[in-house]
Structure formats: structure tokens, C-alpha cells
Structure 1
Amino acid sequence: MPTLSLAVLLAESALRTPTATAVVEGDRRTSYVDLWEAARRSAADLRARGVGPGTRVALLAPNVTDFVTSYYGILAVGGVVVPVPTLLGASEIAYLVSHSGAELLLHHDALAALAAPAAADVGVPAVSLTGLGDGADPLPTYVSRDPADTAVIFYTSGTTGLPKGALLTHLNLVMNATVNAFDGNEVRRDDVIMGSLPLFHTFGQTVAMNTTFRVGATLVLQPRFDAAQAIELMVRERATIFMGVPTMYVQLVEAAGGAAELPRLRDCISGGASLPVVVLERFEQAFGAPIYEGYGLSETSPTATSNQRRFGVRPGTIGHPMWGVDVEVADDAVEERIDLVPNGERGEIVIRGHNVFAGYLDDPDASAAVLVDGWFRTGDIGIKDDEGFIRVVDRKKDLIIRGGFNVYPRDVEEVLSRHEGVGQVAVVGLPDAMQGEEVCAVVVPSGGAPVEPDELIAWARERLGKHKYPRRVEVVDALPLGPSHKVLKRELRARFAAPADDPTPTATHQED
């Protein structure tokens, strides 16, 4: 029987490019051979604590070198990694540890105050990463696994209830790192990748960290994203690739004006949420580097599509499927089977291929609902054109139905983003006694300058259909972001939803 381990990504680069720099963390620079030895020492320590093939180990740490060595240490001993977002509270951490069946909680010292009560609550040991593996004889090599065995359990954001554990296999993650490195927009051995994305998240973990190690390139870690500091760090380390979510690109554009020098980037990758075209344009003008927007979910390892040089680039789209992956559009009204729709028609984006997860942990009903006829139902609405470019219209659950008409928030956000007074915008539907739902735009002003809600409503009314333009605008200092820097629209809906008998706070426009 064939065997495989995600640990092979680090092991092979340690063999092929042993003295090359693998990770940069502040003034600390770690070569591939030293990183792999530290990972094998961590593995030996974990084995002494009872961790073996199939044992689940929770990992709570920011973007530091110790995250990398413990992550690959867990894999090297044959265990399963359960990444824990660093912004969670103790009770939320306890839920992930308990639900995943993790037998150990590894944590960074800075997070000990959260880790200790969470671990105690569920009766598992909390072990500091400081000193893990010190004095241990490193394992001679990694424990290999069946390709279908679970390597990592990623927990979803829990927008519709408690988070679900997505089971990602060794095959899923090795293949995704490989196609990201060689079949999307090529990553080279001499590249320096800026690691601002949180490593506990699938984007940062697979697309940044694992892809970097797949080719033997260098990963520069930033423990917490700050745009001005990221620019300075990229200049200092001569970064060639930046990977981020749209909110990061917005902040980098704003910080560029005050920077003494900008990095000479070759490529940038955007994912995690839809990137407004105007943000792409402003970034490329400021930094002189192209952004390739891609698409994926935790359940797809994550990368499913990307704008790629070989197919050409089309702003506002997510490009074409990755090698070995099929991405199509299906009738979103048919739940029990997959009925593909013709090009040009809207429907639910569905995916099949080596990147699709094995299901949700201990949740066969949820797994059966999304794994249908060999396809994964994403819950995203999209369109595929005759040239194969795919455009994400919006999340199925974010669709606003105003007076019987469908309004897709992204359509509204794209228009509002072009107003000179708008820095960031998120559009949500709020309950409305007359229309069922009303369109509400939540805006962060550009550069801190004031923006008048009535003015923005009038501006949008000239550029959007009668059913689309927002009748309500809320101005805020910042949008709520999740651990992966995604805008939390559920929080906006909860914050601005008015009682049924008082539907119109702040600036509104009631004309139909």
C-alpha cells in the first residue's frame, strides 16, 4: 500500500537545500536542516508523552518558528494537527480541544493564560512550546501514513452554529501545496514569501507555509499583521511574494503613502474573501506588482482556483481551476443532486478533485449535505463564462432579498468601493417590515476623512439599480474581523438590526 505524510514537505527540502534559510522570525533565521531537526526533536518529545499515529494534538500559537517546528513535529510522529485560532477565548478553545478529541494542547507562552484553563476544563495536559524537544534525540525520520489518513483538522468559522471540524488528509494537503507551488503561479526556490497570514488558518498554513517548504523557499513571519511594519519587513528581507486577504491589501495601500521605500514584489496572491477590483487597481498602481486572486475554502485544502498567467488574468474573477481540480456551477435550488447549469448562468459553485476534504468530524449529516454526487457544495454563488473564468457573486447565505428581488452584496460593494470617501465597505441585509430585507452599507471612511451617509446613498442611487442601492449607510471606525482577517458580516447584522417596530436608525432613504 502507498504511504504519504505531510511532513515530507519539510523533510525533502531539508535534504535538498539543507543550508537554505527556511524561516525568518525577527533576527532569528533558521535553515531547513535545523528546522527539520527541531521538528524531529519535538516529535521525539511528543512520542514520550504518548503521542503516536492518529493522536490528535491541538496547537495554539502565533506566527513564530515554534509553531512550525511543533506543527511538523506532530506530523513527524504520525499525529493529527488541530490548529487553534489565537483570538479565541478560553471556552472556545476548550470546545475545539474537546470536540476534536485532542489529547494534548501545545501552546505558546504568551497564550498560557488561555491555554491552561481551557485544557483543565476538558482534562488534557497543556504543554508549553518553550523547551519542547530540548534534550531529546530526534526521530530518525517521520512516521508515514495512509494518504487518506487525516493530517489536519481545520475548524470552520461557525457562522451558522458551532464550528465544524473539516478533515484534511495527507493527500489533500501535499497535493494542494504542490499545485500552489508549480501549477498556479510558480513559486521559486529563491523566493522570499511574506508570512503575514495567520498560520493557524488554512490560507496561511497551506498556501504560505506548506507551499514555501514544498519548493525550499524562505518564509518571513510576522506575528501580527501591521501594514506599515509589513512594508518595512518586506523591504528589509527583499520579499518577492505577498499573500493576503482583501483587508490587508486595503491597509497596505493606505500605508504606502507614508513609507520611505516600497518592496519590489514580483507576485501577490489574494484569497479568503472577494477582492474589490478598485482595491486591486490601487494596490497595483502603488506597488507595481500584480495581484492574482484565488478562491478556496477550508474544505478544499484550500486552493480551488486562481488567476493564472497561462490562462490570462481577469480582475473581478477567481480565475480558473487548479491542476487536477474541477470547478463548475450548479443549480442552487436543487439540494439532493448536482445539476450543472450552462455558462453564463448563476448558481452554486461546486468542486471536485484531490483537494476536497474527507468530511466533517463526527457529523455525517453535515458531510452528506455538502458532499453530493462526488462534488463539494461551497455555498457560494458564481458564474462561469465561456472562457472558463469564474466569478463569485456572493455567499448563498448573504443574499439579500429586497421586495422579492435578489441583491448580491458584492455587486453593491464593488460600486461603493469606487467612491473616493470609502476606504472599506461591507453590505448586509437587515430585517425590514416593508421590504422583508433592506440593503445596509457599513462604511469605513478613506484616510479617516468624514463621509456623509446621505451623500453616499445619493451617489450609489445614480450607479445601481433601484432595488440594489443602499437605503441605509452606517459609518464606523473599523469593520469587525475574524481570526483570518475576514469581515464578520454576522456581527454587522446583529449590531445594526433594529427592532421590527423601529426599523430606521441613522441615515436612511425610504423611497422604493
Structure 2
Amino acid sequence: MANVIDPVRRHSDTTPDNIALRGADSTLTYRQLLTAAVRYSGALVSAGLSPGDRVLLAAPSVPEFVIAYMGVQAAGCVVVPVNTMSTRPEIEYVLTDAGVSLAIVWHELGPAVGDAAASLDVPVWTLTPDAPTAEVAPGSVADRELDETAAILYTSGTTGRPKGAELTVGNFLSGGEIGIECSRGSTRDRTGTALPLFHVFGQASVMMATFTGGGSLSLLARFDPIAMLDMLRRDRLTIMAGVPTMWNAMLHAADGANPQDFANLRIAISGGASLPGKVAREFESRFGCTILEGYGLTETTAFGTFNDIDRGGKIGYTGRAVPRTEVVVMDHDGVPCPPGTVGEVFVRGATVMKGYWNRPSDTAEALSTEGWLRTGDLGETDADGDLRIVDRAKDLIIRGGYNVYPSEVEEVLYSYPDIVEAAVVGVPDDYYGEEVAAVVSTAPGVELDTAQLTEWARERLSAYKIPRIVSVVDTLPKGSTGKILKRSIDRTALRDSTRPAEVHER
């Protein structure tokens, strides 16, 4: 029998006075975190919640999120974390689809959760620094089976309605153990992040790994590059986790930063999207800090592959399979691809989800009877067995019968001096089927010569890969983690506003 809160319980016994959480103006020891979570659990039970009931949680990355999250786990309920920027219709969908019994919302958020819950007669609790608790006996934590669902995390829904990935008690506990093994974490580590804890990256590979190792977790409720660097210095971070846009933003905003600021940092972890080689190289050159890239999905509790600490980061690659995990690139016939050959990435192991909530057909399509998860990502391995994610299968551009991988084109665009961010997408074209389009942003005050950019790309890319449409914008659309959202780019508008072989600016 087990519970997701077990790592907190363990360190509350062994190192009770060690700091577990650091917020903007507060700290919690492991003993204090356990006490607060168990009391929150008592409040849930007193309100009539039963093991297995689903509880929606909408809150930023603040210590109170962790207290409520672990309180839901201690009560044996299922937490359903949602994006704090979700709209009322999006919340209504999750409340209905998951059959939520209670909604918990951070007091500073807008009315979307409350309005959605009211329309469906779902009770709402407001989460504040003095959140409701109930006095319960110490150690009042539900015993659960490892295969019981601990959380339902809804995927982004790039096609169709979002699906809820069921992650189990065993998934989270294994994820924490794998994370510590990969990072060689300990009670001495100080981890910091601005990642949203409602996302699997922050929740599993950061929060669970930190608590499993017994270190401290510093939280930044909203990402800001200067605030992130301030937290790095103030809390003397040894591990920092973020997505590529965060590292890029810190690189461009860190005028006052120097290698000494990163002296305590053992590991900088990047995930969520491919890390542009230019960003990785400049970061290491400027700060003496190597960013190690990993790969995982919501459906794999954030774990899949990770670059080895001893070997260091291999730019463009996400490393080999993490412990207790198998990662294979297969062709259309399910045969493993040789090194250097692109195929679809499959994952099998301790962190692969139980399935999609109430979607047996989708589960059967994604999970084989042998336990392999079909990721939908295109990748290839090299001679060392390291994985390179080429692109999402659905993002592949087929121009005149030729395959164009957006990440390859983006890598070239990022190396152009004036470009800060880039996203490459396919747009409908009557002649070629799809045309290659690039949406880019530049540093403030920089006017991009798009004709010059096209000629520059022509020297570095095959003719069919060159973006014939270039749109310059102030900023690219991003999700809660800072990941660029290609699905939010209007392909039709790009096609209609620009003819192939032309470009336009904001």
C-alpha cells in the first residue's frame, strides 16, 4: 500500500526540520508541509469527500498548491489540475468529463472556475494562505494500491477534445525515484522553477523528484527572467528546471548576470520542447552552465529520456532512456529503426499512464497490449543510442512530396542574429499541398530584413525547406509552461495574407 505523499511523510520522519518549500515570502519544513497537507485532507474528508472522488485544482505555483495537492492525495482522492488561464467553457468540460465532486481555486484567479462550477452545481473552495483545515490524527493518510489513479491530467487537445491521462500512485512514486536517480539528488539540493505545477513537467519531474530526494523546492508563481535569476542567487539553487523559452528569455535579459551566479548550480534541466542549439551554446558560453535536455509526455508522467550528467549535454539530443524505461524508434511496421533513421517514438515503463479517463478506444489506440505507448513523436537515435526528437508527427510538413521537419528549419532560423524566437508551420497550398511558413520575433527595436533572411536560409537549407512565407510578430503564442503553441498560429491567415515566395512584417 502506498500514497503519493509518501516521500513527504518519509522526510518528515527523517529530516523534519529541513526546508521543503520556499515561496515568495514563506518557507515550510517537511514536518510543516506534512501537517498542513494532512489537515487539508481532514477538511476534505469532513466535507464528505471519499477515496476516488475527483477534485479539480486551479492554482499557480505557490506553496498552497502543494498543500492542497498533497491533501487531496492523502485523502485518497484524485487531483485534476487545470491551467490557471482556462476559460469557463474549458473548465466546464473538465468538470463534466472527469465527474468532479469539488473545485479548489486560488483566491487571486478570475471567475472562470467559480462560474463553471456554479453552472454545474459543483461546490467550490477558495484556496488562500489560510486555507481550510481540520484537526485530524497524525498520519491520517489513505493507503492506496500502486495502480490506483492519483491524478487526471488533461492533454492539450491539439485534435478534438482534450483527453484526461490517468496517472497512478505508482507512476508518480516511480517518477520521483527516477528523477532523483537521473539528477543524483539529495537532501542538500535546492531546486527552483517557474514551471506551473499543474503541468506534468513541474508536477512530476520537479516537485515529486525534489520531495523524493528530500531537498527544497523554490517556487516562482509567474515566470520572469529577472525574478528567476534573483531566485537563483537568493536561494543558491543547485538544480533549476525550465522550458526552452525560459532559458532563452534569461539569456537575453541577464545583462547583470555572470558565471558566478550559476556557481552553485549542478544541473539545468530543459524539457517541454526541443532546445535550440544556439540557446544551449550561448548559455554555456556565457554562464559556464550546461543545460541537460530530457524528453517525456503527460502520458509518461514527464519521463522518457534524459542526458547523462557524466557525459554532459549533447546538443540536439534528449539522451537515452531513463531507468525503468524503454524507448524505441519504430517504423510503420513496428520494426525498430536503425540509427539515423526517422520513425515514431514508443515508450514503455514504470511511468507510462494507466490510460485515458473513460476513453477505452483512445487508450487502446495509444497503448499496446505489451505496454508500449505510441507517442506520436518522430525521432531518431544516433550511434550512441541518444534520441533526437525530429518533430511531432502531426507537425510534419509535406511540400511537393518532400518531408520538411519544422524543428530543422527552426534550428537554422534561431542561428540568425536578429531572431529571438521562431516557429515553422505548414500552410495549405494549391500547388505543393503545403508551403513552409515561419513566424518569428526579434529583439526590441530590431527591424528584420526578411528578403535577406530568405537568402541567408537558402545558403543553409535545401530549396524545398526554405520558408517561402515569413511573418514577423511582436511575440509568439505560448502555453502555460512557456512552450510555443504552434496550434494557435492561424495557417489560413498566413496563406491568405501572403503569396508563396513573399514575406510580410507586423
TM (norm. structure 2) is 0.95
Deviations 1:421-467 (A, max 9, x none): 11111110111122111111111113542211111111001100111
SS for the counterpart of 2:408 is helix
In structure 2, the partner of 1:307 is: 307
Shift of 1:8: 0.4
Q: How does 1:55-70 map to 2 (within 5 A)?
A: 55-70=53-68
Q: How does 1:197-276 map to 2 (within 5 A)?
A: 197-259=195-257, 262-264=261-263, 265-276=265-276
Structure 1 stretch 125-134 or stretch 472-481: which is displaced more? 125-134
1:346 maps onto 2:342 in alignment? yes
Cα distance in 2 for residues equivalent to 1:468 and 1:44? 59
Change (3 A) 1:168 1:343: same
SS for the counterpart of 2:261 is coil
1:157 maps onto 2:152 in alignment? no
Unaligned residue ranges in structure 1 (runs of 5+): none
Deviations 1:314-370 (A, max 9, x none): 111010000010001011x34xxx332222211000010111101101111111111
Cα distance in 2 for residues equivalent to 1:4 and 1:349? 31
1:357 maps onto 2:353 in alignment? yes
SS for the counterpart of 1:85 is coil
Change (3 A) 1:417 1:503: closer
Cα distance in 2 for residues equivalent to 1:161 and 1:497? 23
Cα distance in 1 for residues equivalent to 2:503 and 2:384? 41
Cα distance in 1 for residues equivalent to 2:109 and 2:492? 29
In structure 1, the partner of 2:165 is: 166
Q: How does 1:342-421 map to 2 (within 5 A)?
A: 342-372=338-368, 373-421=370-418
Change (3 A) 1:256 1:125: same
Shift of 1:185: 2.4
Unaligned residue ranges in structure 2 (runs of 5+): none
Deviations 1:128-175 (A, max 9, x none): 123434453355331111110001111101111211000001111100
Shift of 1:188: 2.3
Shift of 1:258: 4.0
Cα distance in 2 for residues equivalent to 1:397 and 1:211? 31
Percent of aligned pairs sharing the same letter: 41
Deviations 1:103-138 (A, max 9, x none): 000111112522210111222101112343445335
TM (norm. structure 1) is 0.94
Change (3 A) 1:11 1:278: same
Whether contact under 8 Å (2:192, 2:219) holds in the other structure is yes
Alignment-mate amino acid for residue 326 of structure 1: E
Structure 1 stretch 92-101 or stretch 124-133: which is displaced more? 124-133
Structure 1 stretch 438-447 or stretch 348-357: which is displaced more? 438-447
Deviations 1:77-105 (A, max 9, x none): 11111001101112211211211111000
Cα distance in 2 for residues equivalent to 1:203 and 1:15? 27
In structure 2, the partner of 1:292 is: 292
Cα distance in 2 for residues equivalent to 1:454 and 1:5? 58
Deviations 1:51-91 (A, max 9, x none): 12111111011111110111000000111110011011122
Structure 1 stretch 426-435 or stretch 105-114: which is displaced more? 105-114
1:125 maps onto 2:120 in alignment? no
In structure 2, the partner of 1:504 is: 499
Structure 1 stretch 439-448 or stretch 344-353: which is displaced more? 439-448
Cα distance in 2 for residues equivalent to 1:426 and 1:11? 44
Whether contact under 8 Å (1:428, 1:493) holds in the other structure is no
Shift of 1:262: 3.2
State the Cα RMSD in Å: 1.7
